[in-house]
Chains A and B, each alone.
Chain A
């Protein structure tokens, strides 16, 4: 811990002027002094109020995140947002499951009837428990693919039922071509050049140059800031902004995991 004398000696050495160092440190001693009690009480009360609320919020968020992490791998977000996400996921799963079971006619009879009635209103015919077979010709032919939610071209069967046939799996082996029905959609868009920086990433890196916020990540070490060439900077010249994370977007970098859906290649367009 620096004593006042050591501090003055250090400053005097740095400034090269004992008197000036004395003036500056005397000024510091005058302005940096204990906060008057009324001001301290008022500010401390406000601090404690906000600190209590912040701690409670963080604890609630942490609890919600911990509970949700056990059920899903989704992380982050507030408790409310997380709850909404979970509810949406459960709802979507229920719709998909019910729809799949209704399409295959494996729901219990009353439920199958009800779902078929509802589906009929939107011009989708589903099998009824005791009624005539569905009006979709050839539906029985694609039975092996039913229930497979990842079966390619399933939605096309509803649009052009007459064309639906059992895909000939030997065909691609014979002529080297893969029929469009069994070509899965490529998850990686080929029009996106690898390694290019998406515009939003550029915008992000540009935004990081502004210093509107003070991040609490702890100040940079002196070693970082005193790189060679930094010390001989022109006076008054602003420092280079902190390096952004553009290094992740080098040409060898892997593609981002969540590509935008609209950029996926459309098989019909080919």
Chain B
């Protein structure tokens, strides 16, 4: 998905160097052409851009367990449409910018939800439901996000933001720092602590499994969380 960056450029937002590889230049030129066409309202260009960025946005918001991830993603995309004429950069820059918008809309949505009076015994949308009679879905969930999801409860909010932007958004440290408003060193530290916490939880589960003498799917294992309400 991501463009290969030519040697000699260290980070996002740098201009292409003259000795960049030809395919990269072609890809970059293609992206710039698509961007220009999208600014002019070209439907094909917008469709391509949409399929580039929408899965990432929706995936990030889903991984943050936002109940109305698709609606919020729609708002994000409209904001992108509105401000695209002011955007300059390559595809990686675009993804980073779009994820930054998504992150801020996520925070807005959380703040709004916090101000709303809680509904009576509304269940928190924590787990992706896995149909018991669908073994394939259960397997995928146990191997994929379903395995990670309960572990995320163990993390602080900042750790979770950093880890998900880093892994789901596939952003470099500098970009995560920019989006979260923290220094790169602080982001590294948060990521390290998040990793340690997750590793510890995985080890605890392994011990749990070996003590019971049978394999328990990790996605279904209940996780006691000190931080979860």
Binds B, one of A163-171, A227-235, A247-255: A227-235
The B-contacting residues of A in range 1-57, CB under 8 angstroms, are: 1-2, 7, 11, 15-17, 19-20, 23-35, 39-40, 42-44, 46-48, 50-52, 54-56
Contact across chains for A30 and B46 when beta carbons are under 8 A apart = no
CB neighbours of B172 from chain A (8 A):
222
Q: Nearest CB to that of A16 among chain B residues? A: B195
Q: Could you name 26 residue pairs across A and B whose Cβ atoms are closer than 8 Å? A: A1-B2, A7-B170, A28-B168, A35-B54, A43-B73, A44-B46, A47-B50, A47-B78, A50-B78, A51-B38, A51-B81, A211-B181, A214-B97, A217-B87, A217-B88, A218-B13, A219-B93, A219-B100, A219-B178, A230-B183, A230-B185, A231-B185, A233-B185, A237-B186, A238-B186, A240-B183
Q: Is A266 an interface residue (CB 8 A)?
A: no
Contact across chains for A231 and B70 when beta carbons are under 8 A apart = no
Assembly CA distance A47 to B74 (angstroms): 8
Measured CB to CB, the closest approach of chain B to A173, in angstroms, equals: 58
Question: Which A residues lie at the B interface, using CB under 8 A?
Answer: 1-2, 7, 11, 15-17, 19-20, 23-35, 39-40, 42-44, 46-48, 50-52, 54-56, 58, 211, 214-226, 230-240
Q: A19-B202, A46-B74 are in contact. List 9 more A-B contacts (CB 8 A).
A: A16-B195, A27-B145, A28-B167, A30-B141, A35-B55, A54-B85, A216-B97, A221-B11, A222-B172
Assembly CA distance A40 to B195 (angstroms): 34
The A-contacting residues of B in range 36-52, CB under 8 angstroms, are: 38-41, 43, 46-47, 50-51
Specify which of A30, A31, A218 lies most central, judged by the most chain B CB atoms within 10 Å of its CB. A31
Contact across chains for A27 and B148 when beta carbons are under 8 A apart = yes
With A30-B141, A211-B181, A226-B184 already in contact, the answer to whether A47 and B86 are too (CB < 8 A) is: no
CB contact between A225 and one of B141, B158, B184 (< 8 Å): that residue: B184
With A27-B168, A44-B47, A219-B100 already in contact, the answer to whether A33 and B178 are too (CB < 8 A) is: no
Assembly CA distance A216 to B178 (angstroms): 13
Q: Is B7 an interface residue (CB 8 A)?
A: no
The A-contacting residues of B in range 18-52, CB under 8 angstroms, are: 38-41, 43, 46-47, 50-51
For chain B, the bracket of interface size reads 35 or more
CB neighbours of B12 from chain A (8 A):
218-219, 221-222
CB neighbours of A221 from chain B (8 A):
10-14, 174
Contact across chains for B177 and A239 when beta carbons are under 8 A apart = yes
